[in-house]
Amino acid sequence: MTTTTFRIDKNNIARMGSDSRVSWVTNKGLVVRVFDSPSYFKVANINGVLYGFAGTNFIFRKFLESYTDVVLDSNKVLDTLVALAHHNRIQFCLLRYDGELREFANSPAALGEKEIFLDSKSPPLQTKYHAIGSGRGSKMYNKNKTNNHVCLPIRKIIGANVKTLNKKQYAAIKSKIGVSDFTEDEAIAIFHACDRAGGDIFTGGEIRIMEKQRTVTTQEAAAKQVQILKRIDGEAKSRGVVCASPINAAKEIAQLQNLGVAPVRKGGIDPSIKKSALYKSMEADLKETFNY
């Protein structure tokens, strides 16, 4: 569904950037449609802290709905979301930069892939550049990840996609983007074609940037994003799919290990989290959203 990037530039200014693409995924992990939602921001600056998201949209919606709690204690909100995702086998990654870069994430062990579990007790990431989401493993990201401009890797990924889709043999697939569903063969074909070109079909649309010193996400702006996410999730639910981006756990784990961070924090989830009012409220909404 996305490529979300983090960069501290040569002037020591921290930024996060993301694209605006949305993906519909079946319960088997097959992507059936991609479209661009320019009004959807996957990055935020709340109370001077940068946040960037990739994964199942529901998690980011609950994060934004908890705006007041995030301002008071973001660890509480994020740890609750990690616990909720862990108990319900939901994939997501969320970056937070408040002077230290941390990743909050969950990816269940499945189909031979190893588990990812990161919360506030996991160590910070010691790096000036980082990325999460489906485009993180692309050739264009890896070629441009150290560039001073946080949005350049995303722009290069989108450029590789456009070049691929403009080829004659993919004209029929290109015509379906934002309009109709892919067949299984089409989804597989365009995924591999964009990947070979260095791109990522799940990254596209407009690029949004949040800067720690300048841009601000107000509570009103967050509420608007919540409404956008509710609409997108509602449309997906009516078709029996989910708005999400499958995370390549193997590549994510390799990236974490290169930074000296274990992909699974020892000690497990604090059992008191499941008893909290915040967790119970989020879980009730989860059941309603996905018909659990």
| Residue 125 identity | L
14-18 and 129-133 beta bridge pairing? unpaired
Residue 109: the pLDDT is 87
14-18 and 208-211 beta bridge pairing? antiparallel
Full domain range(s) for residue 122: 3-137+207-278
Name the stretches of the chain with pLDDT < 50.
Answer: none
Residue 111: the pLDDT is 56
In-domain check, residue 173: no
In-domain check, residue 239: yes
In-domain check, residue 199: no
Residue 255: the pLDDT is 92
Those residues with Cβ within 8 angstroms of residue 101's Cβ, 6 or more apart along the chain or in another chain: 6, 95, 124, 125, 127, 130
Closest C-alpha to 258, from 97, 130, 112: 130
In-domain check, residue 120: yes
Residue 122: the pLDDT is 96
Token duo for residue 92: 């997501």
Number of domains in the chain: 1
In-domain check, residue 97: yes
Alpha-carbon distance of 102 to 14, in angstroms, equals: 13
In-domain check, residue 212: yes
Closest C-alpha to 191, from 23, 5, 9, 17: 23
In-domain check, residue 185: no
Residue 230: the pLDDT is 94
| 177 phi/psi in degrees, rounded to 5 | -65, 120
Task: Say what the pTM is.
Answer: 0.95
Q: How many CB atoms lie within 10 A of CB 19?
A: 28
In-domain check, residue 164: no
